[in-house]
Amino acid sequence: MKSAPLVFLVVMLGLNLLNYIDRYILSSNLPAIGRELIDGRPAFAGWEDSLKGILASAFMLSFMLSAPVFGWLSARMSRTKLIALGAATWSIACGLGGFSGQVEAYSRGSALAWTAGPDSGFVSALLGGFGFLLLTRCLVGVGEGAYGPAAPAILSDLFEEKQRGWVIGCFYIAIPVGGALGYIFGGHLGWPDSFFWVVPPGLLLALWCWMLVDPASKKLQEMGSDVSPSRENQAGKGLLADYWRLLQCRTYLLNVIAYTACTFVVGGIAVWLPTYVIENRQAASSETGNQWIGGITVLGGLLATTCGTWLAEWLSGKVRGSHMVVCGLGMLMGFPALIAVTYVPFPSAWWFVFLAIFGFFLCTGPSNTVLLNVCPARLRAPAMALCILLIHALGDTISPTIIGLISDRSAGGLDTAFKAISVLALLSGLVWLSAASTQEADVAKAREEDRLKLAEV
């Protein structure tokens, strides 16, 4: 069956929403998970926040390691089938994570009690409910790794460059909206019920995606099967050469560096904000705090993603490198707002939470649009895969654990950790502003390479 581009956008947007819901139900339930699986365990004493951070880092580690592999596979098999398998995997794995409490109880009360008993060692304690949850979060990351590189590449194939900015902006609206739903949904249903309820919609969307036919790029269709992505990669210099080619593009490289710093900050704050508000600042109950965070995230993130895309497109032709300029200004706005959150008492601090979220999400649409536009068609999936690897390896894979370590080892706790990582928001903004000078030239080079490929047919 042939599917209209709008159908693909709906399916990919739905999967992206669920993707971020599944990520952030962990954050919304981190205090409850800690009480059941981590807190009070002598073997874990002094490392409680670090271990909670590791739960988020483990997901991101498996996600960023698997993404380049799936980026390579996406050029050699049906991308819709690959995405469907990934969505089914991450949904089932997320649901299995909800049984960690039962695994913990079983390990304590059975012949396996030595693995989780109060006097067990650190390594053996990991084999209880915490270890099981850690394993399932890794599997969630592998499933999402199949989705991350392929979905934006499919949409960029289906929509022309003049439409791509809005389409990619729409696609990445799922980040704040899905994250907000994860907070609200997780806070309302609690632990572990919220982990179970995400399974049915994930499997339904995976089935829908499986039924879709992978759309070849219009340009590749015109070139014929002899220059399909798989043939071209086999005949060319190979995957590593493609990645090296991408890193030689100045705009791509600076965009990824800035995006990495941004991802470090946003990923770390997203994991720890509920714990910070509910336990450290004692500003709200678990359900109320997650509702506030979810509401502010969806409002600030949705407005920022929409405004960032609109502003970058409106400034295009008026301001050199408009997309990179918008990204840079957003991070420079979020930097002081994040610091203010640690000083201003609640409920007034909610305003600065909103400003920080708005500033950080302003870059979502423009940065990803440039990421695709500076690459020729054949390199878009590898470009997304490499970006995913780098921003997560040096970004939100390590930031939750680093924040936890700073919190465990400093008198100021999470206040000190938030102030420390805010410096990266400033760095990210400055790097994005520096990338504006080469954005338009690199986009033109990619456009010319695609034109020459067509001319060869």
DSSP states of 275-296? HIIIIIS--S-HHHHHHHHHHH
Is 229 domain-assigned? no
Q: How many structural domains compose the chain? A: 1
pLDDT along the chain (457 residues), means of 10: 69 84 80 76 68 79 77 73 87 88 71 46 62 87 78 74 70 77 79 87 89 61 44 50 81 93 90 85 80 84 86 86 93 94 91 93 86 79 78 84 85 87 93 91 80 64
- The answer for residues whose C-beta is within 8 angstroms of residue 83's C-beta and 6 or more apart is 12, 15, 146, 147, 150, 151, 206, 209
- Asked whether residue 205 is domain-assigned, the answer is yes
Please report whether residue 258 resides in a domain.
yes
pLDDT digits (tens, 9 = 90+) for 334-352: 999 999 999 999 889 999 9
Check residue 395 and report its DSSP letter. Answer: I
Q: Would residue 61 count as lying in a domain?
A: yes
Listing DSSP states for 205-238 in one string gives: HHHHHHHSPPPPPHHHHHH-GGG-HHHHHHHSS-
In a domain, 232, yes or no: no
CATH number of 62's domain: 1.20.1250.20
Exposed / middle / buried, residue 235 (Cβ in 10 Å: 0-12, 13-18, 19+): exposed
d(CA 297, CA 35): 26
What gap in Å lies between CA 324 and CA 269, rounded to an integer? 23
The percent helix, strand, coil of the chain (3-state, each to 5) is 80, 0, 20
One-letter identity of residue 270? A
Q: How many CB atoms lie within 10 A of CB 159?
A: 17
pLDDT given for residue 447 in this prediction: 78
pLDDT of 75: 65
In a domain, 231, yes or no: no
> Is 165 contained in some domain?
yes
For residue 419, tell me if it sits in a domain.
yes
Cα(48)–Cα(122) distance, rounded to whole angstroms? 12
The parent domain of residue 422 ranges over: 5-223+237-455
Check residue 164 and give its pLDDT. 67
Residue 294: partners with Cβ closer than 8 Å, 6 or more residues away: 28, 179, 180, 181, 182, 183, 184, 187
Measured CA to CA in angstroms, residue 157 lies from 22, 140, 308, 361, 441 at distances of 27, 27, 22, 25, 21
DSSP type of residue 345: P
pLDDT on residue 59: 80
Residues 6+ apart with CB under 8 A from 183: 24, 27, 28, 274, 290, 291, 293, 294, 297
